[in-house]
Structure 1
Amino acid sequence: MSTTSKKQKLVIAHGSHASEMGKLLRQNARKHRLDTVFSDFCEISALSFSNAVDPIHREAREKRYLEIVVRYDKEDLDRFCQTLAVLVEWLSLGMCDALGDLFMSLELGERGKGQFFTPYPLSSLMARMTAGDLKEQLKRQDHIALNEPACGAGGMVIAFAEAMLDQEVNYQNFLHAKLQDIDATAVHMAYVQLSLLHVPAIVIHGNSLAMTEWAHWVTPAHVVGGWDRRIQMRRAVQAIRELLTAPETAPPQPKALARPDPEPIAPQSTAESPAEYVVNQRLEQLALF
């Protein structure tokens, strides 16, 4: 099968999955607005994933989960489960920004907020243009650190992970992403997709410009991979390298006090006693530091 035909089949499959998810969400929109149903689906999915790996926030997020699901009946909740199953199958077909595409196809973007997600093919192109030689970079560092200050549904991070796979680099072992967005629904969308694709990441709900943060979401890959420890080790190594490569500066010499009538200093013997020799050797060693 040619590459073109594969891409065409993927596009058709993606369209069918988006249509099926849209249909399920619209059925749950009989009592609620469609944008509310979509946001609730993303949030309860994110809460479910988070509560499986993040005991610090589990109690508060479990409470929030119950606050949302109580507004829906059993049939609605079953449809939410079916919707998540379709999303899992959609992402299993290949790397893509499934929720971003679904969001735009449902016409949920608010012009006042400027919520227009970048088409995934464009994100993929930009990721390949900026990635560089990843294997060469990994010779000098433990992993690739990626920052996305306005992440949307996480499409750029997903595209970069795909670019790593194209260079035969396993993003699950060598990529860590830090994402941020001011919109809570976007944060939940990004977190759900990165969790399903097993991308090590921290997704932050906050304002990048004001440097304010309201919530942190760690993906299962972040927890399983021990990335808190890896990031701390990288920072420690970087700090040591900076210390070793910093230019040495001689300490300022104190100014000698002027004495009107300096007393002549008698010449001293150059021979050192054993005790003086030991003290001088220690001083010379300390001078190295």
Structure 2
Amino acid sequence: MKNLSFEPFSAYLEELSYTKSRFDVFDDFLTMMVCSLSMGRKEEEYLRTVKGYTKKELDIFCKAFASVIMQMEYRQLEDPFGDYFEEHLSNGRNGQFFTPIPVCELMANIVHGFNKASEQDAQKTVSDPACGSGRLLLASAKIDRNRYFVGSDISETCCKMTLINMCLNSIEGEVHHMDTLSLQTWRKWMVIIDKFTRIPYIYEVKKESQVLRLCKEDSIMDANIVNDENKTIQRVKQTSNGFIRFTPKVP
């Protein structure tokens, strides 16, 4: 039987960082994870990312990925990336540090009123305009993960950390790579939970005309129809929580 024990993912990344930039290794690792969780839609981006690594190095990335999965399996709704980022990457990059986990949990309890949401509150949105690695969203999900979670950050690396944390913890919502002061947006993703398999995956929204939110009663086929410019949008309806829901005209 194979030995399935793994070192912390940071040990594998540090091994790769002897010959490459530590930041590039970490960012590429996050990109590989996001692509792997995108149901085969990001093959081109994945191949571009792995192009600069040898087979041996890619094997090490695989071990790091498995290590993250194992860590999240036993320590659910905890952020595995923030501490590594602060310890190894923050120095020299604007001194970036994330909100301590106990403070995140206190803020989440204050917002939620120390009670689980009622059925009427279940569809409310939890938004963090500077999400970092997603700690505030994870803390809120510990209280009630049935809400809709939206994270935004000016750092694409931070957005990837939040995306992975949300997807691997089955937290439905959106992540926006944007400047929340000017509202300039560069990339948008959704974390969707399949209605039948209950498997979470990442879906990148490519254009402004695409749906910003897939409501729970909609299917991913709606997004695919909206994604096709040759199809006609029959009706656009503004939802009560401010997100746009597209209802496609099915041929």
Is the TM value for this pair above 0.5? yes
- The alignment-based identity, stated in percent, is 26
CA drift at 1:180? 0.7
In structure 2, distance between residues paired with 1:234 and 1:162: 31
| 1:157-189 CA-partner distances (Å, limit 9, x unpaired) | 00111122xxxxxx1xx2111111111111111
- The equivalent residue for 1:213 is 185
Match of 2:65 among 75, 84, 88: 84
In structure 2, distance between residues paired with 1:42 and 1:128: 29
Alpha carbons 1:178, 1:201 under 8 Å: kept? yes
RMSD of aligned Cα (Å): 3.0
CA drift at 1:112? 4.7
Residue 51 of structure 2 is aligned to residue 70 of structure 1: yes
Q: Give the SS at the match of 1:138.
A: coil
- TM-score of the pair, normalised by structure 2: 0.72
- The equivalent residue for 2:222 is none
Which gives a bigger RCO, structure 1 or 2 (Cα 8 Å, sep 6+)?
Answer: 1
The structure richer in helix per residue is: 1
In structure 2, distance between residues paired with 1:21 and 1:148: 26
Match of 1:38 among 19, 23, 26: 26
CA drift at 1:146? 0.6
| 1:190-239 CA-partner distances (Å, limit 9, x unpaired) | 10111100100111111111101111111143787796134999954679
Alpha carbons 2:132, 2:153 under 8 Å: kept? yes
Would the alpha carbon gap of residues 223 and 149 (structure 1) be closer, same or farther in structure 2, given more than 3 Å must change? Answer: farther
CA drift at 1:143? 1.5
- Structure with greater Cα Rg: 1
Would the alpha carbon gap of residues 28 and 238 (structure 1) be closer, same or farther in structure 2, given more than 3 Å must change? Answer: closer
Q: Give the SS at the match of 1:160.
A: helix
The structure richer in strand per residue is: 2
In structure 2, distance between residues paired with 1:217 and 1:21: 24
CA drift at 1:138? 2.8
| 1:67-91 CA-partner distances (Å, limit 9, x unpaired) | 1101011111111111111111112
- TM-score of the pair, normalised by structure 1: 0.63
CA drift at 1:27? 1.3
Residue 136 of structure 2 is aligned to residue 148 of structure 1: no
In structure 1, distance between residues paired with 2:165 and 2:93: 25
Unaligned residue ranges in structure 1 (runs of 5+): 1-16, 53-57, 165-170, 240-289
- The equivalent residue for 1:272 is none
Query: More deviation in 191-200 or 112-121?
Result: 112-121
Number of corresponding residues: 206
